[in-house]
Structure 1
Amino acid sequence: MRFMIIVKSTADTEAGILPGEPLFAAMAAYHQELARAGVLLDANGLRPTRDGWRIRYREGHRSITDGPFAETKELIAGYTLIQVRSREEAMEWSRRFPAPHGALQDGAIEVRRLYEPDELPAGIPEARERLRAL
């Protein structure tokens, strides 16, 4: 089972303010522990939305909007992707995730399970095989 631990953005992450050394060290230690346990697939921080864009689809048309985006509560500042044996194991790892913006700062993470290739509709064999290859 694969799970994504999603770090929610704050005004500071959207301003491009990087955390201090203590938080970087805590995150590095946590991710090293995940790697030693063999469950870490990927992890990274995302640049502020001013460096990105959104593509919206409506009534058969798409529109592109350059960042930044105003509502930080809906934005993602980073992620960690893990592969574990159960939901409970994913929950245990996520409980140990360091406070994402520092011990005394408000913050939130969200954990979501990814679809596995065998959960996709059987009528889409090419897509299932491409996903299995990842």
Structure 2
Amino acid sequence: MKFVVIRKADPDTEAGVMPTEQLVTDMLRYNEEMIKAGVMLDGMGLQPSVKGARVRFNGGRPTVIDGPFTEAKELVAGFSIIQVKSREEAIEWVKRWPPIDGGGNVEIEIRQVYEAEDFGAEFTPEMRKHEQWLRDAAEQRAAGKD
């Protein structure tokens, strides 16, 4: 099972306050633990919403809304993608989050990722094959092998 671990934004992350050396050290140690355990697939911090945009569709027409966005607690400051055996295992990994982050006051959301088998028979073998081709092509492009 794959999960996205979402570190919610706070006033500091939205202000672009960079993490302390100690927090970076602790996060690297935490991520290394997950990588060594074969759990972590990817992860990144996100820049403040002032540098972002939203595209909202109404009647199929896009409207671009530039950041910043007002509700920091509803925004994402970073994420990790992990692969574990259960929701409970994902929760156990998140409980190990470095306690100095946000002065000990952060909110982490855990969301399971849809995988091909979740879609049932409607996701035909041809669709599965095409989806795998897309994933492989994206990985190759990211690795500079296109």
Q: Give how far 1:101 is off.
A: 2.9
Which residue pairs with 1:56 in the alignment? 56
Match of 1:84 in 2: 84
Calculate percent identity across the aligned residue pairs: 44
Higher helix share: 2
Q: Give the corresponding residue for 1:68.
A: 68
| Unaligned stretches of 5+ residues in structure 1 | none
Aligned to 1:116: 115
User: What stretches of structure 2 of length at least 5 have no aligned partner?
Assistant: 136-146
Offset at residue 57 of structure 1 (A): 1.4
- Cα separation, partners in 2 of 1:117 and 1:106, compared to 1, 3 Å: same
Tell me the amino acid that sits aligned with residue 99 of structure 1.
Answer: P
1:17–1:86 CA distance, 2 compared to 1 (3 A): same
Q: CA RMSD in A?
A: 1.8
Alpha-carbon shift at residue 5 of structure 1 (Å): 0.8
Q: Which runs of 4+ in 1 moved over 4 A?
A: 130-133
Cα deviation, 1:41-100, whole Å, max 9, x if unaligned, reads 001100111111100112222211111111101100001110011222111111111237
Cα distance change of structure 1 residues 26 and 33 upon mapping to structure 2, 3 Å threshold: same
TM-score by length of 2: 0.82
Between structure 1 and structure 2, the one with the greater Rg is: 2
1:19-52 CA-to-partner distances (Å, cap 9, x unmatched) read: 1011111110000000000111001100111111
TM-score by length of 1: 0.89
Q: Does 1:99 align with 2:99?
A: yes
Matched pairs, number: 133
